[in-house]
Amino acid sequence: MLPTQPGQIERRTHDDKRHGTTTLFAALEIATGQVTAAVKPQHRHQEFLSFLRQIDRTYPDRELHLVMDNYATHTKAEVRDWLDNHPNTHVSSPLREHSHEAGPQAPACETR
């Protein structure tokens, strides 16, 4: 944390450390409100795969619809392979769908 002076907002340096952070993966069953969650010390593809396996065991033979951000761990080859081998698991990413990289299929923005 950089020292502040009256009238200035708090700032952080480029090498700020994130002590004590953790990752929460969560799945919500909309029909019942049941939450399946996993807290992990890191956010790597290994932890994400572990969570995918957990929800696959929790909801066997069910259609799963995942809404994920475009964090790098979600796009690793191992994760893509797991998703390819589980056709009942469908993925969407609101960030990707509304990004400039989506190209012509991106929805037009309305202005008011």
Residue 80: half-sphere exposure toward Cβ, Cα within 13 Å: 5
**Structural domain includes residue 91:** yes
Burial of 29-65, coded b for 16+ CB within 10 Å and e otherwise, reads eeeeeeeeeeeeeebebebbbebbeebbeebeeeebe
pLDDT over threshold 60, residue 80: yes
pLDDT over threshold 60, residue 61: yes
Amino acid at 100: H
Least confident of 36-40, 44-48, 60-64, 95-99: 95-99
**Structural domain includes residue 6:** no
Domain that holds residue 41: 23-101
Tokens 């990289």 belong to residue: 101
Q: What percentage of the chain carries pLDDT values higher than 70?
A: 71
Rounded-to-integer distance, Cα 51 and Cα 38, Å: 7
Q: What is the CATH number of the domain that holds 80?
A: 3.30.420.10
Look at residue 111 in the predicted model and tell me its pLDDT: 39
**Structural domain includes residue 5:** no
